[in-house]
Amino acid sequence: MLIERIEANIENIEKEEIIRRHIEKVYLDSDHLVKRIQRVTTDHGREIGIRLKDPRDLVAGDVLYMDEKNMIVVDVVADDLLVISPSSLKEMGTIAHQLGNRHLPAQFEDNEMMVQYDYLVEELLKDLAIPYKREDRKVKQAFRHIGHSHGS
């Protein structure tokens, strides 16, 4: 089976439509969400080729295939993350500045900042006494580096 476009995202499909279908999942590492061409295997052992025509990243919950009885959905394997919970605007500004200088991609959920685990960042958080925890957590999208140059 070759997938060339995303049907929908499961969050935008009526619950009744989901319940009546058999769901297979494709589990991807978050860094594979940016790959437009890849070969994957569902949790039921079905091999699928993905070659997306649209220049977009995959997102957790994307429906790769759907018919009257079946649905194949993208899920994401949990990442090893540092979940940062600054207790003040000053702490948030301090850590955001420090991580920005390192060009470290971050994601935000509620009042938490998430970055992929790095022992140097963990040491920095300890040194700055900024509240954090290390945990395995699923993210909906890939951590993306933003292209930027300090030169002129």
Tens digits of residue pLDDT in 110-122: 889 999 999 999 9
Tens digits of residue pLDDT in 1-16: 999 999 999 999 999 9
Q: Where residue 109 falls among pLDDT bands split at 50, 70, 90?
A: confident
Global pTM exceeds 0.85: no
- 2-76 fold: HSP40/DNAj peptide-binding domain (2.60.260)
Tens digits of residue pLDDT in 32-50: 998 989 999 999 999 999 9
**pLDDT of 143 above 90:** no
Instruction: Compute the distance between CA of residue 82 and CA of residue 136 in angstroms, rounded to an integer.
Output: 9
- 79-137 fold: Alpha-Beta Plaits (3.30.70)
Tens digits of residue pLDDT in 78-92: 999 999 999 999 999
Backbone phi and psi for residue 59, each to the nearest 5 degrees, phi listed first: -135, 145
Distance of CA 69 to the CA centre of its chain: 28
pLDDT value of position 139: 86
Only one residue has tokens 């070969």, namely 39
pLDDT value of position 149: 45
pLDDT value of position 136: 95
CATH 2.60.260.20 boundaries in the chain? 2-76
CATH 3.30.70.790 boundaries in the chain? 79-137
Q: Determine whether 81 is exposed, middle or buried from the number of CB atoms within 10 Å of its CB (0-12, 13-18, 19+).
A: buried
CA triple 104-150-132, angle to 5 deg? 20
**pLDDT of 67 above 90:** yes
pLDDT value of position 146: 56
